[in-house]
């Protein structure tokens, strides 16, 4: 299959030869645009043919520039104008040609040639065999006339239909293209308020997301030790004595029905008017016997002997538990290190999952574009009845993303410059390096951008202008469009010489 190579208007002889020699194919079709510098000299064509021949390749030239075609032809290179292709129909009349001076009269069939020496005889027709009068040749009956008119009408309708329904035009246009590349870095941050482009860096508006979460997990303790632990829990203290509030200091005693003592952890004030307050208490001594079930009523022995004794009381909220005396499981240093590492991993995964779940779909997020840190750690070494201790972690994660369409826009417009209004991106590729997020929330990442841009083309406007034009006018219209490198038109059926006036019958393929 032949390789088609498109020249730019500034390609030199050396660059043209290089493109042809590098091509893997042996058959080369070289397209030369109108006004190309290469086509200004016949010497270029002669030298080009020599180099192509030495390389063992065959060459053909395509161009709509008649001067270029003429120079190629004089240099012995096959040259064609590819713009207008129409299937041609050769028409010739078949005529018998008789040499001058040899015209002979051909006798009529009804006048036989008499043999030499024979006497002319007249045929006598008996009266009974006298022929009937015959109609003159070409004399039409009314019926034949109507059939003839009908056939003519149908033919006319078919012809008009063909001329109005069948005509099509397909116009293929090759637009000038520009390859624009960028190799540098991208910075994204919520503090960047306006996108900007420079030679080595592009800055885009970032979006910051923050998520906080905590987790508590239990782990088995591998050690053992003698332990004494006091039961702890919460109670609700009620004031049914007066409208006046009552202050109770820390360590205020409360007694259970069996006489065991529990003390307030902190100073509190019980509101008046049948008010109540929730407070934490701890058993006065260690041991399982100080564990209480929910709903146990406690009294304040300090009010005993006064009216307040019956007016103030407390009830356990949930169980008061944890009391223990004896050998207990104890986490070793290794137990706590492993447990903390596992809890951190679980917390980080939970926060990251929540962050990504809440992200808007238009936000682009790169790997490592987030930070995670533990804000608080608590390890409860007191083991449960199952011999497990607990680790509670609080953490937060920050993630910075950006909107990729904004990145593509600012890079592309920065590269195309002032001529950007005349061009549009045809395709692009983005390649990101390893991302990094610093403590200030700025995302930095190496960036490669490759793109192909082509001239803006108003297809509907072009169709309207092309409608009804002949070949010459269409060619002039095509090459008046900025950025056109080459074009080709096909009109169908073969007898059509103008572009259809109906724009729906015009197909424009832009490449």
- Residue-wise pLDDT tens digits, 128-175: 444 445 444 444 456 776 777 777 777 666 555 555 567 889 998 888
Q: What is the structure's pLDDT at 165?
A: 60
What span, in angstroms and rounded, lies between the C-alpha atoms of 50 and 45?
9
CA angle, corner 206, sides to 201 and 208, nearest 5? 140
- Report the CATH number that the domain containing residue 22 is assigned in CATH: 3.30.750.24
Each residue's pLDDT tens digit, 6-52:
888 888 898 899 889 888 889 999 989 888 899 998 999 999 999 99
Residue 418 and residue 343 share a domain? no
Residue 380 and residue 357 share a domain? yes
Residue 51 and residue 31 share a domain? yes
Of 286, 302, 328, which residue constitutes the final position of a domain?
A: 328
157-171, 376-390, 401-415, 420-434 — which is least confidently predicted?
Answer: 157-171
The string over 16-54, giving b where at least 16 C-beta atoms fall within 10 Å of a residue's C-beta and e elsewhere, is: bbebbeebeeeebbbbbbbebebbeeeebbebbbebbee
255 occurs within a structural domain:
yes
Confidence of residue 89 (pLDDT cuts 50, 70, 90): very low
Q: What is the structure's pLDDT at 161?
A: 56
DSSP 410: H
Q: Which residues span the domain enclosing 195?
A: 179-205+406-433+443-451
- Report the CATH number that the domain containing residue 240 is assigned in CATH: 2.40.30
> Average pLDDT over the chain, rounded to whole?
83
Say whether 196 sits in a helix, a strand or coil. strand
Residue 73 and residue 192 share a domain? no
Q: Where are the beta strands (DSSP E) in 294-422?
A: 297-299, 312-321, 324-330, 370-380, 388-402
Residue 272 and residue 187 share a domain? no
Beta bridge partners of residue 84, listed in sequence order: 489
What span, in angstroms and rounded, lies between the C-alpha atoms of 7 and 19?
9
Cβ pair 345, 208 in contact under 8 A? no
Residue among 30, 122, 97 nearest 69 (CA): 30
492 occurs within a structural domain:
yes
105 occurs within a structural domain:
no
Pairing of strands 436-437, 443-455: antiparallel
97 occurs within a structural domain:
no
47: region left, alpha or beta (phi > 0 left; psi from -120 to 50 alpha): alpha
The domain total for the chain is 5
Residue 319 and residue 235 share a domain? yes
What span, in angstroms and rounded, lies between the C-alpha atoms of 504 and 320?
86
374 occurs within a structural domain:
yes
Q: Give, in order, the Cα–Cα distances in Å from 444 to each of 16, 74, 83.
A: 42, 60, 50
Angle between helices 42-54 and 13-22 in degrees, nearest 10: 20
Residue among 172, 171, 174, 170 nearest 6 (CA): 174
47 occurs within a structural domain:
yes
Q: Give, in order, the Cα–Cα distances in Å from 455 to each of 7, 65, 303, 463, 489.
A: 17, 21, 95, 17, 20
Residue 244 and residue 277 share a domain? yes
Of 328, 360, 390, which residue constitutes the final position of a domain?
A: 328
What span, in angstroms and rounded, lies between the C-alpha atoms of 410 and 205?
11
């Amino acid at each position: 299959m032949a390789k088609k190579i498109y020249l730019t208007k500034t390609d030199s002889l050396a660059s043209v030869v290089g493109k042809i020699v590098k091509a893997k194919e042996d058959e080369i079709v070289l397209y030369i645009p109108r006004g190309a510098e290469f086509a200004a000299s016949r010497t270029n064509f002669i030298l080009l043919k020599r180099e192509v021949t030495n390389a063992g390749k065959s060459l053909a030239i395509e161009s709509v520039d008649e001067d270029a075609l003429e120079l190629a032809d004089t240099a012995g290179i096959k040259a064609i104008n590819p713009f207008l292709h129409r299937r041609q129909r050769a028409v010739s009349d078949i005529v018998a040609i008789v040499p001058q001076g040899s015209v002979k009269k051909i006798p009529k069939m009804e006048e036989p040639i008499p043999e030499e020496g024979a006497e002319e005889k007249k045929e006598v027709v008996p009266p009974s065999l006298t022929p009937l009068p015959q109609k003159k040749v070409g004399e039409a009956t009314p019926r034949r006339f109507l059939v003839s008119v009908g056939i003519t009408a149908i033919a006319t309708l078919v012809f008009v239909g063909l001329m109005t329904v069948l005509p099509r035009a397909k116009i293929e246009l090759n637009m000038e293209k520009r390859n624009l590349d960028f190799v540098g870095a991208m910075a994204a941050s919520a503090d960047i308020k306006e996108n900007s482009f420079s030679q080595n860096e592009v800055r885009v508006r970032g979006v910051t997301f923050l998520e906080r979460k905590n987790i508590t997990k239990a782990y088995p303790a591998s050690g053992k030790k003698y332990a004494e632990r006091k039961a702890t829990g919460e109670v609700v203290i009620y004031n049914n004595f007066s409208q006046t509030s009552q202050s109770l200091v820390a360590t205020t005693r409360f007694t259970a029905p069996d006489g065991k003592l529990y003390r307030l952890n902190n100073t509190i004030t019980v509101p008046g008017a049948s008010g109540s307050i929730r407070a934490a208490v701890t058993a006065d001594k260690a041991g399982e016997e100080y564990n209480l079930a929910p709903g146990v009523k406690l009294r304040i022995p300090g009010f005993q002997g006064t009216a307040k004794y019956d007016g103030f009381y407390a009830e356990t909220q949930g169980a008061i538990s944890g009391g223990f005396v004896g050998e207990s499981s104890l986490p070793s240093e290794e137990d706590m290190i492993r447990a903390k590492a596992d809890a951190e991993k679980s917390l980080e995964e939970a926060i990251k999952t929540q962050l990504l779940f809440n992200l808007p779909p238009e936000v682009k997020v790169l790997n490592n574009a987030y930070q995670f840190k533990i804000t608080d750690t608590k390890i409860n070494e007191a083991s449960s009845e199952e011999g497990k201790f607990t680790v509670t972690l609080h953490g937060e994660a920050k993630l910075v993303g950006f909107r990729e369409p904004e990145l593509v826009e600012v890079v592309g417009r920065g590269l195309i410059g002032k001529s950007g209004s005349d061009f549009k991106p045809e395709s692009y590729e983005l390649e990101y390096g390893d991302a990094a997020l610093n403590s200030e929330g700025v995302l930095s990442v190496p960036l490669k951008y490759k793109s192909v841009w082509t001239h803006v083309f108003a297809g509907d406007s072009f169709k309207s202008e092309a409608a009804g034009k002949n070949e010459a006018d269409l060619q002039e219209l095509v090459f008046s469009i900025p950025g056109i490198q080459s074009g080709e038109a096909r009109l169908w059926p073969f007898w059509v010489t103008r572009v259809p006036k109906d724009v729906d019958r015009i197909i424009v393929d832009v490449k």
